[in-house]
Structure 1
Amino acid sequence: MNKPALLVMDMQNGIVSRFQDNVDMLQAVQKSVGAARDHDIPVIFVRVGFSEGYPEVSPRNKAFSHVQQLGGMTVADHATQIHESVQPEAGEPVVTKYRVSAFAGSTLEVVLRSKQIDTLILTGIATSGVVLSTLREAADKDFAIQVLSDACADADAEVHRVLINKVFPRQADVLTVDEWIDNLESRREPLTN
């Protein structure tokens, strides 16, 4: 039997603030977190943040080199804290990464291996960023993968659509939060008296 974990990725103040109008996606992430907790599936939060002085940022990195110039995005900064809509509960890890993939420079793989997790359920922002990069790396590491399509978002709706419908199904099962919950409910053992 698979041992899953729900990854809630980049649902941090500085990123969620750009997607506040996407109420359906935010509610889908909340619903997935609630369902995971109800079914005793570990919830792991992943955020991007940097140390004071930005020693992790290379000037050659197009995605992050501007962060050092603009300031902010340190691990103590408000922008890197998990958004209030999906606050971690006691004992739920918050993993800090230094690049796009949830695995990059983080302790994620150590946490997953220590919990004997073999299946990852992916949610987060952005579909073309952390979700894509994490999916690809997780597939290379032989994890089984599920992507909750309505619990992911991207600034470009067409990119989101292509990834969800054409790219992700090659390496993951893609389903909505409701479909995922229905699958969880159908696997739940009936209570015996």
Structure 2
Amino acid sequence: MSLPIVQGRTALLLMDMQNMIVSRYTSDTAQLAPFKQALETARLHGLPVIFVRVAFREGHVNVSARNKMFGRIIGTPGGGTEDIGTQIHAELAPRENEPIVTKIRVSAFAGSDLEAVLRSQGIDSLVLSGIATSGVVLSTLREAADKDYGLTVLADACLDQDADVHRVLTEKVFPVQADVMTVEEWAASLGEEKEK
């Protein structure tokens, strides 16, 4: 007897929307409005929502001193899975049935069980949002594209410290491997699909 084929599904990934990262990029919660709109849109349309965060083992034993980005945190307090800085920002609080995937590097797939979560739910298309555009969004997009996921990037639900880098990525780099749109455009496209 063969197993039934699960119809492909789309999920929203909200990546690195945790206290210590959000506070590094903005002190204005109004800037989180597009992220909240994306979250509400996914929930309204019954799409799975998956939160991705970065956190490490106590004592940073899974961080290499050779890693230019993460090596500098070795010996500093915090960064563990229970630390307040690694919790999802209150403005985007996950619901009980929305998984929080913990990664240990930049890409959402790095050291996490994200792929198993996606596979178990029959998800083959991802809508990406997060902080930073040049960090988790870029790294996850590249890896997800190589894994043959369908991809959409919500340009206004991504933040970067460098506006020019954000613009180049969303206008020139990402469109090679993903559909790039605003949250409003994405919401409208879901409404059109529902009417069909």
TM-score w.r.t. structure 2 length? 0.93
* Residues 7-16 or 63-72, more deviating: 63-72
Counterpart of 1:37, as a letter, is R
Aligned equivalent of 2:70, options 64, 73, 78: 64
Q: TM-score, normalised by structure 1?
A: 0.95
Match in the other structure for 1:9: 15
One-letter amino acid of the structure 2 residue matched with residue 106 of structure 1: S
Instruction: Please report how far the alpha carbon of residue 87 of structure 1 lies from its aligned counterpart in structure 2 after TM superposition.
Output: 0.5
Aligned partner of 2:40: which letter? G
What residue in structure 1 maps to residue 127 of structure 2? Answer: 121
When the two structures are aligned, how many residues end up with a matched partner? 190
Q: Displacement, 1:56?
A: 1.0
| AA matched with 2:178 | A
The answer to which of 124-133 and 60-69 deviates more is 60-69
Q: What's the offset of the Cα at 1:184?
A: 0.3
Structure 1 unaligned regions, length at least 5: none
Cα distance in 1 between the residues matched to 2:127 and 2:31: 15
Matches within 5 A, 1:24-35: 25-35=31-41
Q: Secondary structure at the match of 1:70?
A: coil
**Would the aligned equivalents of 2:59 and 2:75 in 1 still touch at CA under 8 Å?**
no
CA distance in 1, matches of 2:163, 2:47: 30
2:186 aligns with one of 155, 180, 188: 180
Asked if 2 retains the 8 angstrom alpha-carbon contact of 1:25 and 1:152, the reply is no
Contact 1:6 1:36 in 2 (8 A): yes
Distance 1:24 1:31 in 2: 11
- Unaligned segments of structure 2, at least 5 residues: 1-6
Structure 1 segment 1-193 matched on structure 2, within 5 A: 2-21=8-27, 23=29, 25-189=31-195
| Distance change (3 Å), C-alpha of 1:171 and 1:110 | same
Question: How far is the alpha carbon of 1:54 from its aligned partner?
Answer: 1.3
User: Identity across aligned pairs (percent)?
Assistant: 57
1:9–1:45 contact (8 Å) kept in structure 2: yes
Deviations 1:27-57 (A, max 9, x none): 0000000000000000000000001121210
